[in-house]
Amino acid sequence: MTYGDMRDYILQLINQYSMTGSKVPITYNDQADALARIPALVRDALAYVTTTTRRLRAVAELAGPRQLGGLWVYDLPGDFFQAAGGLWRREGGEVRRVHGYRFLGSRQVAVTKGGEYLLEYFRYPVIPRGTPGDHEPLDCPEEAAAAVALYAAAHLVMDDNAYLYAALYAEFERRLQRLSEGVRAEWGRVVNDYGD
């Protein structure tokens, strides 16, 4: 979804998009104020939805191995938010899950053996700065776009219309519940590292 689509959707939710079939002019009522507030609300909603309910999965090869007291330290990706599926090591044409690792703060991970490592993780969304262009895509899964719009719309009307705010925010909460990933099992081959 583009920023222009999201902005129009938010305006439609608060009944500020059209009047007698024509688009509401910027000079009408508080239209200019609403348009000025939407980018910040969209940024807030994107960060909230994509770091709580509909997290964004990614896989990246870790860079920057260096030794530190018998450990190999790798830098985590710049958009790293939280570990998801764990750490994997490429070895002899195979990819194996690594169990012995430790995160050092929020920017590095330490392992006992050097090599090529992959990390499956949840990432931060790309948050637009300022007022995005109408055709700029938003880093938001399609299924979460409605929740982002409802959050922004609810906060736009919070001070002016308590009933509409409550209705929009309640729908936002319902959408979040439906977006929940739930629990899922992961399967894989158990490798005997002892050679028995």
157-170 residue pLDDT tens: 998 899 999 999 99
C-alpha pair distances (Å), 27 with each of 23, 35, 156, 179:
12, 11, 17, 37
Question: What is the pLDDT at residue 15?
Answer: 80
Which band of pLDDT confidence, cut at 50, 70 and 90, is reported for residue 194? low
Region of residue 128 (phi > 0: left; psi between -120 and 50: alpha; otherwise: beta): beta
pLDDT of residue 188: 59
Higher-confidence position of 31 and 40: 40
| pLDDT-derived band at 193, boundaries 50, 70, 90 | low
Task: Say what the pTM is.
Answer: 0.78
Under 8 Å between Cβ of 118 and 62: yes
Percent of the chain with pLDDT over 70: 88
Query: What sign does the CA torsion over 12, 16, 19, 22 have?
Result: negative
Q: Which amino acid is at 180?
A: S
Q: Mind listing the pLDDT tens digit for each residue in 97-155?
A: 888 899 988 889 999 888 899 999 999 999 999 999 999 999 999 999 999 999 999 99
